[in-house]
Amino acid sequence: MNHGVDAVALTIVIVLFAVVTVLGFAAARWRRPASLASLEQWGLGGRGFGSFVTWFLLGGDLYTAYTFVAVPALMFSSGAIGFFAVPYTIIVYPLVFTFLPRLWSVSHRHGYITPADFVRGRYDSRVLALAVALTGILATMPYIALQLVGIQAVLEVMGVGGGGNTFVADLPLFVAFIALAAYTYSSGLRAPALIAFVKDALIYIVIIVAVIYIPHRLGGWTHIFDSAQTSLAAKNPATGKPAGSIIPGSAGLWPYATLALGSAMALFMYPHSITAVLATKDRNVGRRNAALLPAYSLLLGLIALLGYMALAAHVKTVGLDGKPNAQLAVPRLFADLFPSWFTGIAFSAIAIGALVPAAIMSIAASNLFTRNVYREFLRPQAGIEEEARVSKLVSLVVKIGALVFVLGLDRTLAINFQLLGGIWMLQTFPAIVVGLFTRWFHRWALLAGWAVSMVYGTVKAYQVINPTTHGHFGGSSAPIPFLDGRNGYIALTAFVINIVIAVVGTVILRSLRVPSGRDATTSTDYLADAGDPRVSDLPELATS
């Protein structure tokens, strides 16, 4: 295995990386408002994105380094369980079509910037809103970390970083952090929205070429699947069991199904997903994109198969530090089978595919802090310019938190970063999604359900040990109580506990006539659209 630097590929990556960085700064002048000094403009792009821009923004938001590195890595290391990502992206869009237009309407009617703003108004509870906000911030950090791991994997395959010196090994993460932090601070949500055009174009080019050329180079799909099955059937020295299978066995059915369902329910609880939707100009933009975005699921299925192609090509996934790292499977596959110039394009697609969502995630998390922690508890008198200034600074802190996750947790199966975040985010589903349709749940019962399920999910995830590295948070599945030792996604088990506590708690609290607070919303708020005079009077919209 050649550990030298691939100068051609590295040069192309640097050039394209510089291009998108310039675009990120230039985005501050795109649809230029009178000022970016408000969360409406910096954090939501003026709430003016139409269907075309939103298609790329949501695509860049949802199809991340998780898609291009982590999912194929799971296929490479464990087999068909990695395909859970395909049905989950199919399940999620009917959910989105149903509830996000209602969230758009009520948010525009009341000027809500974050999902925690909605919870605050709906349930009249600062504490419950704080719980939702802190959950979003916490879950976003490992998701940003996953993006940075994707960039690091690309640079490592090119021979950059990963050596014995700790600073040198992690230098790519710091480089990515500096570039990302700078243009996000400058341009806000407009930056990832503009860069998403470049990212999607590169990804489509790379994947179309890959799924045509690589099977031809490797002797066809039959050979690829046969080779993958043979490789996965070999015993893992650490466990003494086969690494996986291209068809899930009976023991894998529950983890597969619960991962798909739980991930689908959690995806649009993430603040970055909601931020992209709230940035649209009318409630039907979200619906149109929910109908169109399943086209990305086809792309995702093809990308996942790169993991099997890497097995068939017998790529070596030992990093420059001498340790095995499944995240290197797809970058190594491109490096082994393509000329350096195309490898550079492919690596640029992966790196830029990580930058776009990382920017949106940091913006969304900083908005949560500013609106639901800083203004709610620390500076209630903060004006819109102060909010924007604080949010910009916090976006830098969030990225530092993501670096802590990268440096502190096991990176060899980075998909666990996203699945760990999903465990936490799903626990906000009752307050946000159920709250969009009914206010039956009592605010304190929702808070109790959230607290217990968060503790349960975190402890269970911590107790999962990676059999290879022996590190904690080594997986996302654990035995499901009362189901004969069947394993399932921890997030879904915690969610069931959450709902049970919320239902029982609500019955008890309502029977005791404990005050449930004042609902700041009305039934018509959930149907308001652009042109409604109550919507058009929102502050800052006139400058977009």
Q: Given a cut of 90, is residue 489 above it in pLDDT?
A: yes
Q: What angle do CA 331, 419, 240 make, to 5 degrees?
A: 70
Predicted confidence at residue 536, as pLDDT, reads: 46
Q: What number is the average pLDDT over the span 54-60?
A: 83
pLDDT in tens, 431-453: 999 999 999 999 999 999 999 99
In whole angstroms, what is the distance from residue 40 CA to residue 188 CA?
Answer: 10
- Could you give phi then psi for residue 488, rounded to 5 degrees? -155, 170
pLDDT in tens, 234-243: 887 766 788 7
pLDDT in tens, 319-350: 777 778 888 999 999 999 999 999 999 999 98
Residues 397, 181 contacting (CB under 8 angstroms): no
**Three-state secondary structure call for residue 473:** coil
Predicted confidence at residue 456, as pLDDT, reads: 96
pLDDT in tens, 283-305: 889 888 888 888 788 888 889 99
Predicted confidence at residue 37, as pLDDT, reads: 83
- Confidence band for 159, pLDDT divided at 50, 70 and 90: confident
Q: What number is the average pLDDT over the span 153-175?
A: 68
Residues 333, 310 contacting (CB under 8 angstroms): yes
Least confidently predicted of 20-24, 364-368, 396-400: 396-400
Q: Given a cut of 60, is residue 364 above it in pLDDT?
A: yes
- Confidence band for 477, pLDDT divided at 50, 70 and 90: confident
Q: Given a cut of 80, is residue 356 above it in pLDDT?
A: yes
Predicted confidence at residue 306, as pLDDT, reads: 94
Nearest to 271 by CA among 348, 185, 187, 372: 372
Higher pLDDT among residues 275 and 414, named by residue: 275
Q: What number is the average pLDDT over the span 29-44?
A: 83
Predicted confidence at residue 2, as pLDDT, reads: 47
In whole angstroms, what is the distance from residue 517 CA to residue 235 CA?
Answer: 58
Predicted confidence at residue 540, as pLDDT, reads: 42
Predicted confidence at residue 162, as pLDDT, reads: 55
User: b/e per residue, 385-422, with b = 16+ CB within 10 A?
Assistant: eebbebbbebbbebbebbbebbeebbbbbbbbbbbbbb
37-41, 142-146, 240-244 — which one is most confidently predicted on average?
37-41
* Placement of tokens 């051609």 in the chain: 8
Q: What number is the average pLDDT over the span 404-415?
A: 66
Higher pLDDT among residues 517 and 290, named by residue: 517
Q: Given a cut of 90, is residue 163 above it in pLDDT?
A: no
Handedness of CA 127, 132, 137, 138 (dihedral sign): positive
Predicted confidence at residue 544, as pLDDT, reads: 30
Predicted confidence at residue 300, as pLDDT, reads: 87
Predicted confidence at residue 472, as pLDDT, reads: 75
Partner residues linked to 487 by β-bridges = 479
> Is the model's pTM score more than 0.75?
yes
Predicted confidence at residue 56, as pLDDT, reads: 85
Predicted confidence at residue 372, as pLDDT, reads: 95
Q: Given a cut of 70, is residue 476 above it in pLDDT?
A: yes
Q: Given a cut of 80, is residue 130 above it in pLDDT?
A: yes
pLDDT in tens, 168-198: 556 666 777 788 788 888 889 998 888 988 8
Chain mean pLDDT for the chain: 86
Q: What number is the average pLDDT over the span 2-15?
A: 82
The count of C-alpha atoms lying within 13 angstroms of the C-alpha of 167, restricted to the half-sphere facing its C-beta, is 0
Q: Given a cut of 60, is residue 165 above it in pLDDT?
A: no
Q: Given a cut of 50, is residue 542 above it in pLDDT?
A: no
Predicted confidence at residue 325, as pLDDT, reads: 84
* Placement of tokens 């107790």 in the chain: 463
Least confidently predicted of 118-122, 187-191, 535-539: 535-539
Q: Given a cut of 80, is residue 413 above it in pLDDT?
A: no
Read off the DSSP letter of residue 458.
H
Q: What number is the average pLDDT over the span 257-276?
A: 92
Q: Given a cut of 80, is residue 455 above it in pLDDT?
A: yes
Predicted confidence at residue 310, as pLDDT, reads: 95
Predicted confidence at residue 515, as pLDDT, reads: 94
Higher pLDDT among residues 419 and 227, named by residue: 227
In whole angstroms, what is the distance from residue 130 CA to residue 373 CA?
Answer: 7
Relative to beta strand 487-489, strand 477-479 is antiparallel
Q: Write the secondary structure of 340-375 as one string of H (helix), E (strand) and C (coil).
A: HHHHHHHHHHHHHHHHHHHHHHHHHHHHHHHHHHHH
* Placement of tokens 């799909």 in the chain: 221
Predicted confidence at residue 250, as pLDDT, reads: 77
Q: What number is the average pLDDT over the span 484-512?
A: 94
Residues 173, 403 contacting (CB under 8 angstroms): yes
For the record, the structure tokens of 32 come out as 């230029």
Domains, in order of start, for the chain:
7-27+36-410 (1.20.1730.10)
In whole angstroms, what is the distance from residue 144 CA to residue 73 CA?
Answer: 17
Q: Given a cut of 60, is residue 164 above it in pLDDT?
A: no
- Confidence band for 387, pLDDT divided at 50, 70 and 90: very high
Q: What is the phi-psi region of residue 382: left when phi exceeds 0, alpha when psi lies from -120 to 50, beta otherwise?
A: beta
Q: Give residues with Cβ within 8 angstroms of 522, minimum separation 6.
A: none
